[in-house]
Amino acid sequence: MKYQPLNPQIFIHNRERFVKAMLPNSIAIFVSNDEWPSNGDALHAFKQNSDLFWLSGVTQEDSRVILFPDNPDPKYREVLVLVRPNELKEKWDGKRLRANEAKEMSGMATVVWLDSLDALLQQWIHLADHIYLDSNENDRKASLLRSHEYRFIDEMKSRYPLHSYQRAAKIMKELRGIKTAEEVEVMQKAIDITENTFRRLLQFIKPGVMEYEIEAEIFHSFLSQRATGPAYGSIIASGDRARTLHYVSNNQECKEGELILMDFGAEYGGYCADLTRTVPVSGKFTRRQKTVYNACLHLHNYARSLLKPGITIVDYTDKVGEEATQQFLKIGLLKKTDVKNEDPENRAYRKYLYHGISHHLGVDVHDLGTRTSPIKAGMVFTAEPGIYIEEEQMGIRIENNLWITRNGNKDLMKNIPITVEEIEALMKK
């Protein structure tokens, strides 16, 4: 890992929270992600299962976390399972965790090697009444591939068919949605790295620069600050390409007079930042660009004012939509007749703002958390309204990351330049 060692209390607290939600006499088993093949004899870069990381901080393949709080032997109430270091494999693929290193990283006192797990696990399963197994219950999941956790579910149910099986993911959705102060401290580090990078870009962007050159600057800046890398594929979209929400080709020239939409964020210590800013390639907004930008900034500030405990994402999105309608009337995108005759299932403002306003943020950039229950203190959300105008070949989005507090929210990106005046002044330098 490139980042500095994290405070193991993050993972100790996370495990305590999960164990507290388990049924009596239950065992929970979490398995690491697959190593996915690429082409030939190559593998894709390994990415740890988010739930296993959230519980342990371990990013190594072939790992497991086992929680059995009612185990008669206290030593085995928390177990971290690792692949045994192999001298030959390490010559090819590099050093693997030693037991003492893993204990220090995770705060778990007991480490068991994977090749000696089966006999122990059988004893523990026979003592337990309920077995918690993990699965990917992210509402945005699209892939039907049977990854490691699903194959492990099949294996366990085949070997132990008479146990009561429980969904670890249902608990995880509740717990991971609420961030501890220790987690937010790591997220703030990812955000600070992202801020430094954005300020650097304001000095770099000029007419004629290529989108991929900006992406390269982002990657360089992230790595030089000990980030793992980008939290997701950076979107560097100049001109009309900014209307494509997940534009990642990043292969065109940024031209005089265009706006460039940049959606990027660092991953640090397993946690994500997610920033969007839209700036003028030439360093100065035109009058029309400024008008639309300020309308988007108004929506951004309005959205931030709504994000507080008690409101649901559905109600929040509806309220932002109402305000967007008024802003779009004001800047000439909509007419009163458009609003009067709109389809309630496809509101008129949706022509110019066709995505959601917020999502959970954490270990995953689209993190786990409810979208139907009321927002709770401790959640971290993005706020990212946009305005996309095909007729003017313009796309603007403004995004910050907000930690929900008891009475409102804390803007974790409050120091990142956001107004027209701030952006122009920094680009002028």
The domain locations on the chain are 9-176, 181-428
pLDDT tens-digit map of 22-40: 999 999 999 999 999 899 9
Q: pLDDT band at 144, cuts 50/70/90?
A: confident
∠ Cα 223 241 211 (to 5°): 35
Q: pLDDT band at 58, cuts 50/70/90?
A: very high
CATH code for the structural domain at 9-176: 3.40.350.10
Over range 188-202, report the average pLDDT: 98
Residue 366 has pLDDT above 80, yes or no: yes
Residue 142 has pLDDT above 90, yes or no: no
For the four alpha carbons of 245, 250, 252 and 257, in that order, the dihedral sign comes to positive
Cα distance between residue 137 and residue 129, in whole Å: 24
The number of beta carbons lying within 10 Å of the beta carbon of residue 121 is: 22
| Predicted model pTM | 0.95
pLDDT tens-digit map of 90-132: 888 899 999 999 999 999 999 999 999 999 999 999 999 999 9
CATH code for the structural domain at 181-428: 3.90.230.10
Cα distance between residue 121 and residue 110, in whole Å: 14
Question: Percent of the chain scored above 70 by pLDDT?
Answer: 100
Position 22, amino acid: M
Residue 227 has pLDDT above 90, yes or no: yes
Over range 320-344, report the average pLDDT: 97
Tell me the C-alpha to C-alpha distance, in Å, between residue 340 and each of 323, 328, 334.
Answer: 15, 14, 11
pLDDT tens-digit map of 238-261: 999 999 999 999 999 999 999 999
Q: What pLDDT is attached to residue 307?
A: 97
